[in-house]
Chains A and B, each alone.
Chain A
Amino acid sequence: MPRDDRQNGDLHRQRRLKNWALLAVLLAFVILVYFVSIIRMGGGS
């Protein structure tokens, strides 16, 4: 594989990995807000 293609492949893989990580963080945040809301509305503190 030519060097440019291999480097582009690496960059795309890195970018994809970062996007998945960002999705995971956003999902975790949604779950966190959900549980915090449940606890706060239930009178927990």
Chain B
Amino acid sequence: MEVSRPTLAGTLVDDAAIAGGRLGDYVALLKPRVMSLVVFSGFAGLYVAPGSIHPFLALVAVLCIAVSAGAAGAINMWYDRDIDAAMSRTKGRPIPAGRVLPDEALAFGVTLSLFSVMVMGLAVNWVAAGLLAAASLFYVFVYTMWLKRRTPQNIVIGGAAGAFPPMIGWAAVTGSVSVESVVLFAIIFMWTPPHFWALALYREGDYAKAGVPMLPVVAGKAVTRRQMLAYTVALVPLSLLPSLLGSAGLLYGLVAAVASVCFVLLALRVLRDHSDRAARQMFGYSILYLFVIFTFLIIDRTAGGMAFWPVPVMG
């Protein structure tokens, strides 16, 4: 007999959910696509940090960052199951689709969060563990529960949660927070608004239907396009700071300058071209941008880095 029950979110729960869902559903709860960028930026922070760490402990640190990000994603899916059910992009997720029970998703997320923070603290260091806990708590309580449904600035402030990974990676090696790691944080923080607003521009209807006050829904698309441009312009000098501070070299500086200028040009294009296609391309490029920036940080570090400014020889 097939059993379907209405849930609080108004979705149906079937026998599969009561049995505990399939393995793939639990993997989907961890938002693996989002996790890849988090893991990569966390690894980059760890790799470019001055000092050394045992390769196995580095692996554990990256694993903890990945699991913690995934766990926060699972808690986010638990809390947002009502709006996920209303949006075409998210209605196939395990909870709104009725394949995993909400309480089970919450337990899964909380357990993994606690485990990842504890393992990071015991295996690596407690500064990295503290930052990891702060990132999770910020994402769940500040972004998901407080800001997301209340203000169009949700992803501006909430973006801080996604900006933590390179700082956590850095702290895993150095045991501290420094200006260089804050710069890596700031790059992702400043990158987040144009990234999400590009998505919101062509998914505006979805967000409006779900009652999420994204900027295009509340202030209109014209304002959103102008704000996107402002953030991409602010990102240009910020992306060059690692070279200016000496944590990266000339190669990174050149690539970051070109990539950032391209980002600005795409934002200008979105300002003039009001098609979904332009917004989609900007969204796609934003993901590529972050991968390129952090890839070249890694390459530059591997190559030894060449000073951005000529260093005078004293003697």
Residue interface mask B1-23, A partner, CB < 8 A = 1: 11000000000000110011111
Chain A 9-44 near chain B by CB (<8 Å), digits 1 or 0: 001001101100100000000001001100110001
- Of residues 107 to 133 in B, which have CB atoms within 8 Å of A's CB atoms? 119, 122-123
For residues 240 through 294 of chain B, which have their beta carbon under 8 Å from a beta carbon of chain A?
none
Q: B137 within 8 Å of A by Cβ?
A: no
Closest chain-B Cβ to A12's Cβ sits at a distance in Å of: 8
Q: Is B53's CB within 8 Å of the partner chain A?
A: yes
Instruction: Report yes or no: A36 in contact with B23, Cβ–Cβ below 8 A.
Output: no
| Complex Cα–Cα for A17 and B23 (A) | 8
> Which size bracket describes the interface of B in this complex?
10 to 19
Give bound CA distance, A26 to B23, whole Å: 15
Query: Which of A7, A15, A45 is B20 in contact with, Cβ under 8 Å?
Result: A15
CA distance A15 to B19 in the complex (A): 7
Interchain CB contact (< 8 A) of A36 among B1, B15, B22, B57: B57
Any chain A CB within 8 A of the CB of B56? yes
Q: How far is the CA of A23 from the CA of B52 in the complex (A)?
A: 33
Least CB distance from A19 to B in Å reads: 10
Interface: B60 (CB within 8 A): yes
**Closest beta carbon of chain B to A6's beta carbon, Å:** 12
Q: Is the CB–CB distance between B57 and A11 below 8 Å?
A: no
Contact indicator B2/A40 (Cβ below 8 Å): no
Is the Cβ of A44 less than 8 Å from the Cβ of B15? Answer: no
Identify A18's interface contact among B2, B15, B23, B119, CB under 8 A: B23
Q: How far is the CA of A40 from the CA of B56 in the complex (A)?
A: 11
Chain B residue contacts of A39, Cβ below 8 A: 54, 56-57
Given A7-B2, A11-B16; A35-B56 close (CB under 8 Å)? yes
Chain A residues close to B by CB (< 8 Å):
4, 7, 11, 14-15, 17-18, 21, 32, 35-36, 39-40, 44-45
15 examples of A-B residue contacts, CB within 8 angstroms: A7-B2, A11-B15, A11-B16, A11-B19, A14-B16, A14-B22, A15-B20, A17-B22, A18-B20, A32-B119, A32-B123, A36-B56, A39-B54, A44-B57, A45-B53
Report B's interface with A, CB cutoff 8 A.
Answer: 1-2, 15-16, 19-23, 53-54, 56-57, 60, 119, 122-123
User: What would 11 more interface pairs be, CB under 8 Å, given A4-B1, A17-B22, A40-B123?
Assistant: A11-B16, A11-B19, A15-B20, A17-B23, A21-B23, A32-B119, A32-B123, A35-B56, A39-B54, A44-B54, A44-B57
The 7 closest A-B pairs by CB, nearest first: A44-B54, A36-B123, A11-B19, A39-B54, A21-B23, A35-B56, A14-B19
